Chains A and B, each alone.
Chain A
C-alpha cells in the first residue's frame, strides 16, 4: 500500500467530478432553458403536454377529503407556497395530468400515476414520481441501491395523506427516537422489521444497544435510501460508523489491535447477542480463535480460571481496543 498515491487519486477524482459537474450543468442549462428535465425513468406524469393539466382546484371539487388531509402534511404546506413549476401542479405533480381523468368523470384507471399495491404503474414509475422532487439529500444514491434494485417502492414505507395510527400493541412493543418524519407507514424499527424479520429476533437479545428503549434505531446507522458504503451504512466503514458514537476507541493509539481497528464486527454483533458486551462468542474463545501462541492463550481454560470467569481475558488485557501507555504493548495498561 503506497501512502501518497490515494491522495493523488482523490485529487484527480475531485477534479474529474468538478469538471464533469460543471460540464453537465452547462449542458443541462443549455438544453432545458429553465424547463424541468425528464427523470431517468420517466413517469407518465411528466410525459404529458402542459395542456393536460387541470389544476389542483379541479381535483378538489371531487377529492375534498384527500385535500384536507394532504394540506396538513409537509408536502401540502410546501405546495401552498410552491417554489418550482412542479410544486405548482399540486396533486398532478405526483399523480400526473388529470385531464383524461376529469373527462372520464373519474375512475382509478384514468389516473396516470397511482401508488400502492393495486396500482397499474410499475414500481419504477411510482418511484420516479417521488424522485422528481426527492432525488437530493440522502436519496442521492437511491438509483441502483439495494432497495431500488429489489423493486422496493417509496410507498412501501412512506405514505403522504395518512396519519400514523399504530396498533396499541405496536406502541407497547416498539419504541424509537423522536423524529420529525411523520410520513412513515409504521414507526421504526417496526417498519424495517417487516422485511428484516431476523433482526426482530436479534433486538430481543439480552446484550443489546438501546434499540428497545427507543434511543437507537435502524437509521442511526443505515440509510435505507442507499449509500455508497457497505451495508448502506451512513459512514464509509463499519468502524467509522461505530466510532462516531464510541469516539474514545478511535485512536490513533500507540499500541493497536489490528482486528479491532479494521472491523469492530470481527468480535461484536451490533444487532444484539446473548454474550456479554455484544460479543459474537464469549471470552476466552473469542480471543482463542486467533491467538495460538504459547502458554496461556492456548490453554483451554477450565471453568474456574481467572481467564474465563468475569471479564475473561480482559480481567487483565483491559486495553484491548488500543493503548496509548508506553507499557501497554500487551494491552495491560
Chain B
C-alpha cells in the first residue's frame, strides 16, 4: 500500500518534536559560533570607536578619531602602501603565470606526463609557510645566497634582498608568487577542463587560430573561475603576515619590521603598544578592503550568469 510521503512524515514527527531536536542539536554549535566569531567581530567594530587598552577597556569614546588618526599615521600609510603593492604584484604575477601554464598544460600535455608536471608546480602549495620561507631566506642571502650567485653568473651584481626595504618587498613577492602559483594553476585547470572540447573544435574547423580560440572561447568561458582566483589571491595577499614576519627582519633582528604590512601593524599596535582600539580600527579598514573585493566578485559572477 502506498501512502503519500507527506502523510507518513506528519504522523511520527510532530512539529514541536522536530523543533526540540533542532534546538538541542544546533544550540551548542551556534553558541560556540557566536562566542568565537560573531562576538569578536562585533567587538572589533565597537572597540574601533574607543580608546581601549589591555587593562583599561572602553576607556574613552572617541568617535571616528582612531580612523582619522590612522590616515595621518606614517606607519599605517606605509603598511597600506606596501600591502597594496604586494597584493597587486602577487595577484597579477601568480594569476598570469597560472593562466599561461594552465593553457599550455590543457592544450599540449595530458595523462601521466601532465599529472607529473602538475605535481612539480603544486609542491610549494603543500609545504607550510615557515619552512619554505627559511629556505628562501638562504636563497636570498646577500653573501652566500644562491640567487646572487646565479645573478653573478649573468653579470648582475649582488642585490641586498633582505636588507633594503624595496628589495625585501620584491623578495616577499617572489616567494609568495612561488607559493600561490600551484593553487591558482590547479583551480584554473579544473575550470579549463570543464569547458566542452566541442567549442574549440568547432572554432578550429571555422579556421580560428590558437590565439583566437584562447581569446574568444577559453578566456570568456573561464572568466568566472579566473575572477574567483584573482579575488581569492588578492584577499589572502592583503592578509599577508607569516612570510613577512619570518623573512623581513630589520637590522636589529626584529621580525617583520623591514617590510611593514597591515597585519603586522595591527599586531604591533595591539600587542606591543596595547593600543587595542586603534588596532581594531585598523582591522576594520582591512575588512573594508576585503568586503569591497568580495562584493566585486559577487557582482561580476551574477553578471556573468545572467
A and B: partners? no
Interface residues, chain B, CB within 8 Å of chain A? Answer: none
